[in-house]
Structure 1
Amino acid sequence: MHDDALRVGGAWPAEIRAEFARNRENGCVGTRLVSETDRVRVWEIRLAPGERIGFHRHVLDYFWTAINPGRARSHLQDGSTVESTYSAGETRHASYGPGEYKIHDLENIGETELIFTTVEFLDSANRPLPVPAAVRA
């Protein structure tokens, strides 16, 4: 969770709960895989106001950088919902030990396009999840 995230209350709507159940193993941590080597996967996330990227699972060590400022809402695997504000250039790192992971979604609740770059490290403690050809640049 983002350090400055604000937890918001309320149970998840039925469609969000159903999507969470369906996508627990989704390895697409961005909207487009722009580059992949034997060491890293580089993802782009571009969300217009009101758009969201559905639930996805982080199993690899990674970092993300916000390309522009914005606001987002995420539903987290523990059943909570958080809202965050991002600054251009803001960067966060995450690491996962064997068997550890994070599942969440991301919805742009701001007024402008929300853009992130995410870099996953393939030599992490967990095996990379497969990603479909359709997300590759």
Structure 2
Amino acid sequence: MATETGDDTGSELDIGKPGTRLLFEDADTRVWLLELEDGEATEWHPHEWDYIFVVDLPGKVKLEYRDGSGEIQDDYLGQVVYRRHGPVHRLINLSGQSYRNVVIEFIGKEFETWPPAPVQSLPGTAVPGGHTRHYQHEGEEHA
């Protein structure tokens, strides 16, 4: 684990990985499995490249930054979220159950817009802003 200065006091934070297990890596892509039990948090970590995550086991989580700010997310099954590379953060599982997603980092890539190429939306899948897209599984509905 690398270290980075954590605040104005000069304290250091351990800098970890964005997932609990590396599933795949090549010159263009890195894929992580992120599994958290209730109350568990990821290591503090940055993302060097733009990435998406796909929710496999849904739940309420908090994206927390080092300064204590953050946002609560109520992630749903099949949700796909694009995020720009950015500051050190961690994810905390607040759902009362196991939470899991798959993180896909685009190595060496920074996108002006997302998705990077035109896509044909399925009826009911477009989300304002185009940053989140849900693809419905056969026989399943999401409001």
Please tell me the TM-score bracket, short chain as reference.
Answer: 0.5 to 0.7
Task: Note if contact 2:18-2:43 (Cα within 8 Å) is conserved in structure 1.
Answer: no
* TM-score, normalising length: structure 1: 0.66
- Partner in structure 1 of residue 104 of structure 2: 119
CA change 1:65–1:103 in 2 (3 A) is same
Match of 1:91 among 80, 86, 89: 80
Task: Please identify runs of 4+ aligned residues in structure 1 that moved more than 3 A.
Answer: none
Offset at 1:59? Answer: 1.6
Q: Deviations over 1:88-112 (max 9, x none)?
A: 011111234xxxx222111111121
Alignment coverage as a number of residue pairs: 103
Identity of aligned residues (%): 26
**RMSD between aligned residues:** 2.4
* Aligned-partner Cα distance in 1 for 2:77–2:94: 16
* Contiguous gaps of at least 5 residues in structure 2: 1-5, 111-143
TM-score (norm. length: structure 2): 0.63
Residue 111 of structure 1: SS of its match in structure 2? coil
After TM superposition, the structure 1 = structure 2 runs for residues 71-110 of structure 1, keeping only pairs within 5 Å, are: 71-96=60-85, 101-110=86-95
C-alpha distance in structure 2 between counterparts of 1:72 and 1:93, whole Å: 16
**Residue matched to 1:13:** none
More strand by share: 2
Question: Which has the larger helix fraction?
Answer: 1
Decide which structure has the larger Cα Rg and report it.
2
Residue by residue over 1:26-73, the C-alpha shift from the partner in whole angstroms, topping out at 9 and shown as x without a partner, is 351111111111111000000011111121001201111111220112
CA 1:51–1:122: 2 relative to 1, 3 Å:
same
Q: Which has the higher contact order (CA 8 A, sep 6+)?
A: 1
